[in-house]
């Protein structure tokens, strides 16, 4: 009896997309359209997988002047100054807390790394502190393929001014992150040719 060993000419390797680097349970949730929001006590990470291009995701995240058209609770957003890749942006939000409408204003300094990252830090406003970044990473369906999705991540730390009940603030803030990510996905869908909004 003759045994013939056949070695494959191409070895399959582990696909290392940003999604594949996450724990299995998180990958499954993201691929099923869920938003992941983790963290506590003012330090959070929010992640969503969006079908669309890196260009459109960037366009949505940097459309500061039109945030009120697609972000929940946002009354206005505007660019105050521009200096190269650095901008000062003001955003006014309103939300219902118990039976009262509470309005907040944040003025942030942003630094943009085109089509991949936006760092932000509050320079004036109604919080004690707010800082973090947005990250956009292209995701292909398989190794070597053209990316057809983007992984959008927001890492943020927010602390209320003294006198604000921290437990309530943290709960509202964390919940709002998921709502914002869903709104961003819907806006990317809306701006993507031949896509229907979920």
- Residue 187 lies inside a defined structural domain of this protein: yes
Q: How remote is the C-alpha of 116 from its chain's centroid? A: 11
Find the CATH number of the domain harbouring 122: 3.30.530.20
Is 12 part of a structural domain of the chain?
Answer: no
Query: Per the structure, how many domains does the chain have?
Result: 1
Write out the residue range of the structural domain in which residue 31 sits: 24-191
Would residue 9 count as lying in a domain?
no
Digit-coded pLDDT (tens) for 16-73:
788 888 889 999 999 999 999 999 999 999 999 999 999 999 999 999 999 999 999 9
pLDDT attached to residue 196: 54
Question: Using one digit for the tens of pLDDT, what is the confidence trace for 123-145?
Answer: 999 999 999 999 999 998 887 88
Among 72, 76, 68, smallest CA distance to 95 is for 72
19 assigned to some structural domain:
no
Sorting pLDDT into bands at 50, 70 and 90, what band is 102?
Answer: confident
Higher pLDDT among residues 93 and 145, named by residue: 93
Residue 87 has, within 13 A of its CA and on its CB side, a CA count of 17
In a domain, 18, yes or no: no
């Amino acid at each position: 009896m003759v045994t013939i060993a056949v070695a494959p000419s191409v070895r399959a390797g582990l696909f290392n997309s940003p999604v594949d680097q996450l724990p299995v349970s998180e990958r499954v949730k993201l691929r099923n359209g869920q938003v992941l929001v983790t963290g506590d006590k003012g330090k959070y990470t929010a992640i969503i997988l969006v079908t669309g291009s890196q260009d459109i995701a960037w366009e949505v995240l940097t459309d500061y002047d039109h945030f009120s058209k697609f972000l929940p609770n946002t009354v206005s957003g505007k660019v105050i100054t521009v200096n190269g890749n650095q901008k000062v942006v003001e955003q006014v939000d309103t939300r219902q807390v118990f039976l009262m409408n509470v309005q907040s204003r944040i003025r942030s300094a942003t630094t943009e790394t085109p089509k991949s990252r936006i760092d932000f830090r509050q320079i004036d406003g109604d919080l004690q502190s707010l800082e973090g970044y947005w990250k956009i990473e292209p995701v292909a369906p398989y190794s070597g393929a053209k990316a057809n999705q983007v992984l959008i991540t927001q890492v943020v730390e927010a602390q209320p001014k003294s006198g604000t009940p921290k437990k309530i603030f943290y709960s509202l803030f964390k919940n709002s992150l998921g709502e914002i990510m869903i709104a961003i996905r819907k806006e990317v869908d809306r701006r993507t040719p031949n896509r229907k909004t979920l």
